[in-house]
Structure 1
Amino acid sequence: MLRTATLGDEMNDLLVHLGPILFYVIVWALVFAGTAVFLGLFIPFITGDSLLFAAGLITASSASLNIVVLAIGVGIAAFLGDQVGFLLGRHYGRGYLDRHGGRRTRKAIRVAETFYERYGWWSIVVARFVPWGRVFIPVIAGVGRMNYYKFLSSNIVGALAWGVGLSLIGFYTASIPGVKSVAYVVAGIVIAASIVAGLRTWRANRPEQAAPTGS
């Protein structure tokens, strides 16, 4: 009987601990996939700034979540996502980009190429704060065979400034009187609005992707 009770307590403790772990994993996975597998192309907002801001708000309102763990994990996920994008561009080239998406996507690629050519090292850092930029700039840097160590340093700076910075902004926003008590509501609204915006972007681009390329 005592053993059964102990086992039940252990299971409850496990479930309590799995909640925060699952939260971290979902946020980190979305950040990573936003650039590594082009998820940000289809849902650019839910994998970007809005996600980090909402995650920071939720962390501030939960005693079981730690902002240091969240922010460091986001920074690492952002860094790794860009590394994958860079390697894809270096190994598969421009043809890999041309096969993804419709006319709007190809236009975004051309804009990203111009941006990269103009700003070089800084383009990797700045791109983190631009939805289309963080999807395409790392790949284009790989296509352009940017020096790996230059890319590495710019990727570290961008990942920390964006990932850690925005997570902390969301976290400390909850310190504003009245915000912390409704942080979950605010975060829910931000995420919902991001999903709607992402779906509209996807639907707008869908006919172009489905359209035949030749007659």
Structure 2
Amino acid sequence: MTVLASSWTDASSLGYPVLFGGVLLGSIVPVVPTGAVVGAAAAVATSSGHLSLPLVVLIAAGAALMGDLITFSICRFGGPTAVRWVSRGQHTERIDEVRGQFRDHGWQIIVVGRLLPAGRIPVLVAAGALAYPWRKLVPAAAGGCVLWAIAYTLIGIVSGGLFDNPLIATLLAAVLILLITGLLNLIAARRRKRKAEREKTERESEPTP
């Protein structure tokens, strides 16, 4: 406990509060690229040794879990106005699709939703609307957050291993994560578009009664 406390007050370890605050804020209000924050912290840990990789994973996962639970609480107890605020910019059909999947694959959807870019908000909105039980939500969300933190830490480790300069390693980690996120979002958007076109074609081909 003494070691942990000293690491938070050491001037060379001020990245921990930034890591925690950035991930927590980005998990509630998606204005901060949380994956890039984790990757950057991991790059600093690898290239400079000023941060501890296990602590980076632990703090990132804890902040992400806290943010997810707060977002879920807003969706569950905040009423229609709060739900609209959380789900702004989200595709309505995506939320409806996730809501339908919850009945059979609840905890799997929560884990996958945390790992996929733009998948977290629709999952938490659907979970809140369905009053998903806390006893199932918390362990699933915790598992998803740990896997998420490990995945983005690994990207940071790669960039930190390529460059000894912490600044360059941090920038590379952020760029890599943003590129990967953009690519996955593009793939998801194309899949939604193809699905919508297929459903439209099926409706048009149905005989008129």
Q: TM-score with structure 1 length normalisation?
A: 0.67
- The Cα offsets for residues 145-187 of structure 1, whole Å up to 9 and x where unpaired, read as 0111111111111011111342244225534xxx032453142
Aligned residue identity for 1:26: V
Which residue of the partner structure matches residue 30 of structure 1?
22
Q: How many percent of aligned residue pairs carry the same amino acid? A: 21
Which residue of the partner structure matches residue 188 of structure 2?
none
Which residue of the partner structure matches residue 56 of structure 1?
42
Structure 1 unpaired stretches of 5+: 1-13, 199-215
Q: Is the 8 A contact 1:60 1:171 kept in 2?
A: yes
Let me know the Cα RMSD of the aligned residues: 3.0
Q: Secondary structure at the match of 1:145?
A: coil
1:165-176 → structure 2 map (5 Å cutoff): 165-171=151-157, 174-175=160-161
Aligned residue identity for 1:17: D
d(CA) in 1 for partners of 2:41, 2:99: 30
d(CA) in 1 for partners of 2:159, 2:122: 30
- The Cα offsets for residues 68-107 of structure 1, whole Å up to 9 and x where unpaired, read as 11111111111111111111111013432224576xx142
Structure 2 unpaired stretches of 5+: 1-6, 183-209
Which residue of the partner structure matches residue 70 of structure 1?
56
Which residue of the partner structure matches residue 11 of structure 2?
18
Higher relative contact order (CA 8 A, sep 6+): 1
d(CA) in 1 for partners of 2:169, 2:90: 35
Q: TM-score with structure 2 length normalisation?
A: 0.68
Q: Is the 8 A contact 2:68 2:124 kept in 1?
A: yes
The alignment covers a number of residue pairs equal to 170
Answering whether residue 66 of structure 2 is matched by residue 80 of structure 1, we say yes
